[in-house]
Chain A
Amino acid sequence: MRWIDWAVCIAFLLYMVWTGLRRGKDAKSLEGYYAGNRKIPWWAAGLSVMGTQISAVTILGLTSQAHETDMGFVQTYFGLPFAMIVLSIFMVPMYRSRALLTAYEFLEGRFGPATRALASLGFLVFRCIAIGIGLYAAAVVLSQMLGMPMWTAVVMIAALATLYTVVAGVVGVVWSDVRQMAIIGLGLLAVLGILLAHLLPHLSLRDMLEVCGAAGKLNPVSVQPESVEFVPRTLADVAAGVGEKSFWEQKYNLWAGLFGGLFLHMSYFGCDFSQAQRMLTSKTVHESRLALLLSAFAKVPLQACILFLGVLIWLFYAVEGGPMLFRPEQIRAAQEPQHAARMAEMQQRYDQATAHRRELLLALAAGPEDAAHHPRLAEYQAAVADVAGIRKQARQLVGDPKDDDDTNFIFCRFAFDHLPPVVLGLIIAAIFAAAIASSAAEMNALSAATIVDLYRRWIARRRDERHYVFAGRVATFLWGAFAAVSAMTLAGGGSVIETINRVGSLFYGSLLGVFALAALVRRAGAWAGALSFVLGLCTVFAVHLTLKVEFLWYNVIGCVAVVVYGWLISRFEPRRSAAA
């Protein structure tokens, strides 16, 4: 990276950290440290909701996912605006009626201390897995692309995030999220402009869409499910190759996005405290609602744009020619003597295949007819598949057999090879900022759950406010250290954003179910709350271990199971008193 890019990147990160640090004076009580004294304007809280969700893996993973497959991932967000409306109607007044410091405090008022402790512990367990995965994913890409040791990138991200979160708490998190969103918007717009400037001399906008569509790169929505068989297959059947693929096995389609996505996002934004915390920080109920609804308006178009950027990067490489390998360690391995002969032959095939694909792509674009009716369409589609096939073979030859996926490296490779000075610095700063801001939000939420739900509730009940704020800062620091250590010990590949959603879906649905039980079954008491939550988690894990069902549906299963179990158990409980 050039010195000017380093300067831009470092200057922005220092500005972002300073923005967080200078808000430290507001964090003199737990109310200030974890709820920002409930003075944060709605637009800042709303941008923070979006900023916390957009981690480094969103930028790296989504663009690369569209490059490798298509834009279908956008369907995951189709349920989000409806989820935000439901949360605005039901959850915001529920949380704001008692001026809570964590979401799980509400459960104690409704179901007693056991349910609160279980929900809070569940959140701590899931979030501490996710914080490690997110930090690892960002650090592994940045360290390889910048040529620095993995631990340096991990420590850099974790240290900066911990620094301002320890000092300023949630206020620092929110205002640094606002800066993060600004630089992400600016950086992605710059990349879009650069891609279009490269492509427009070769292809019109319509031609671009047609050749990408012919290569199967668009397809943002699948209305028709691949199967209407509603009985799920068992994993044993799948392994034996028996039975017909069921409706529940298709990862991305309109229906999974609308219904599974609705439950996933209700759980994530309403019950995962790294997000639900924003509902507690705004000045009024109105402002909390507006903060949520900002995402309802902006999220789907934003994610569609990020995915479309990935498609344009694919088109850029198809027109200008691109590398066969994207991951630096695989490129180095390809130069080793034992692979040299085989890789040279593969590179030659790859160059021929990409040249052939380019020729056909331009022919399709130049033809008077639509790409769908062009006589060379089948040849073009075969050439697209050939290029992808050769890339896969090359990765398998030189990559680690357990982790040869290069999905998360494609966007960075493009940025390093083709972005001009300053813009590259902006993009690297945006990726670092996203990693730092997401980690900071998670650390603050983990610290809040640790101190408010566990330490203050069970261990040190009658201490003064200064003691709890100090304990909160210590907990934030320890969670930052934990995140760094777990990121350095993790290993894994694939699309990390999907991994996080998959792990989260095992837990989120049941958590949402407990809040739904509180709202829907008035009779449900302490036993119903705690037992149904545990049984709901067991049900989701049982489905995960035995049936072939895609992860978005786990949220629906968990939520419905908890409400049903809770309702059944409540039939055997003594009737709750009105005061409870």
Chain B
Amino acid sequence: MAQAPLVPDHDGAKRPEEPQPPLGSWPKFYLLVALVHVAVVAALIVFSNAYRIPVVPR
């Protein structure tokens, strides 16, 4: 098995550099996270507008 390359640490020690994985399906997953969040915020805005009752002067 290939040894991971060593990179110098700033304190002088040597630590193995972690390989950078390919992007794979991450962009789609980020998009999913963003869309779910936008849906949550939109639901909160709808909820907010439905129950926002301004103060009525007497």
Residue on A nearest B46 in the bound complex, by CB? A221
In the bound complex, residues from chain B placing their C-beta under 8 Å from that of A457 are 10-11
In the bound complex, residues from chain B placing their C-beta under 8 Å from that of A300 are 37, 40-41
- State whether A81 touches B37 (Cβ < 8 A): yes
- State whether B37 touches A379 (Cβ < 8 A): no
- State whether A285 touches B20 (Cβ < 8 A): yes
Interface residues of A in 192-248 (CB under 8 A from B): 209-210, 212-214, 216, 218-223
- State whether A371 touches B53 (Cβ < 8 A): yes
Most chain B C-beta atoms within 10 Å of own C-beta, residue among A99, A284, A300 = A99
In the bound complex, residues from chain B placing their C-beta under 8 Å from that of A99 are 9, 15-18
Most chain A C-beta atoms within 10 Å of own C-beta, residue among B10, B12, B17 = B10
Given contacts A98-B7, A210-B51, A221-B48, A85 and B30 within 8 Å (CB-CB): yes
- State whether B33 touches A219 (Cβ < 8 A): no
In the bound complex, residues from chain B placing their C-beta under 8 Å from that of A63 are none
- Total residues of chain B contacting the partner, CB 8 A: 32
Interface residues of A in 251-306 (CB under 8 A from B): 254, 284-286, 289, 293, 296-297, 300-301, 304
Closest Cβ–Cβ distance, residue B23 to chain A (whole Å):
9
Residue on A nearest B42 in the bound complex, by CB? A221
Query: Does chain A have a CB within 8 A of B45?
Result: yes
Interface residues of A in 358-398 (CB under 8 A from B): 371-372, 377-379, 381-382
Closest Cβ–Cβ distance, residue A83 to chain B (whole Å):
11
Interface residues of B in 1-26 (CB under 8 A from A): 7, 9-12, 15-18, 20-21, 26
**Which one of A219, A284, A378, A381 lies within 8 Å of B18 (CB-CB)?**
A284
Query: Does chain B have a CB within 8 A of A406?
Result: no
How far apart are the CA atoms of A486 and B6 in the complex, in Å? 43
Residue on B nearest A300 in the bound complex, by CB? B40
**Which one of B15, B41, B52, B55 lies within 8 Å of A78 (CB-CB)?**
B41
From A88-96, A180-188, A438-446, the one touching the partner chain is: A88-96
How far apart are the CA atoms of A396 and B37 in the complex, in Å? 42
How far apart are the CA atoms of A213 and B52 in the complex, in Å? 6
Query: Does chain B have a CB within 8 A of A456?
Result: yes
- State whether A218 touches B52 (Cβ < 8 A): yes
- State whether A98 touches B56 (Cβ < 8 A): no
In the bound complex, residues from chain B placing their C-beta under 8 Å from that of A98 are 7, 9, 15, 17
In the bound complex, residues from chain B placing their C-beta under 8 Å from that of A456 are 11
**Which one of A93, A213, A222, A297 lies within 8 Å of B51 (CB-CB)?**
A213
- State whether B21 touches A284 (Cβ < 8 A): yes
- State whether B44 touches A74 (Cβ < 8 A): yes
Which bracket fits the contact residues of A?
35 or more
How far apart are the CA atoms of A88 and B12 in the complex, in Å? 28
- State whether B48 touches A219 (Cβ < 8 A): yes
Q: Mark A446-465, 1 if CB is under 8 A from B, else 0.
A: 00000000001100010000
In the bound complex, residues from chain B placing their C-beta under 8 Å from that of A218 are 47-48, 51-52
- State whether A97 touches B20 (Cβ < 8 A): yes
How far apart are the CA atoms of A457 and B18 in the complex, in Å? 23
In the bound complex, residues from chain B placing their C-beta under 8 Å from that of A74 are 44
Closest Cβ–Cβ distance, residue B39 to chain A (whole Å):
11
Query: Does chain B have a CB within 8 A of A550?
Result: no
- State whether A209 touches B21 (Cβ < 8 A): no
**Which one of A210, A219, A289, A381 lies within 8 Å of B56 (CB-CB)?**
A381
In the bound complex, residues from chain B placing their C-beta under 8 Å from that of A89 are 30
- State whether B10 touches A109 (Cβ < 8 A): yes
Interface residues of A in 456-490 (CB under 8 A from B): 456-457, 461
- State whether A219 touches B52 (Cβ < 8 A): yes
Q: Mark A84-112, 1 if CB is under 8 A from B, else 0.
A: 11001100010011110000010011000
In the bound complex, residues from chain B placing their C-beta under 8 Å from that of A371 are 53
Most chain B C-beta atoms within 10 Å of own C-beta, residue among A81, A209, A284, A456 = A81
In addition to A85-B34, A301-B40, 19 A-B residue pairs with Cβ atoms within 8 Å of each other are A81-B36, A82-B37, A85-B33, A89-B30, A97-B7, A98-B7, A108-B10, A113-B10, A221-B44, A221-B45, A222-B48, A284-B21, A285-B18, A296-B33, A297-B33, A304-B44, A377-B56, A381-B55, A382-B58
Residues of B bordering A, CB below 8 Å: 7, 9-12, 15-18, 20-21, 26, 29-30, 33-34, 36-37, 40-41, 44-45, 47-48, 50-53, 55-58
**Nearest 5 A/B pairs, CB to CB:** A213-B51, A81-B37, A378-B56, A221-B48, A99-B15
A-B contact pairs, 7 of them (CB 8 A): A88-B26, A105-B9, A214-B53, A220-B47, A221-B44, A297-B36, A382-B58
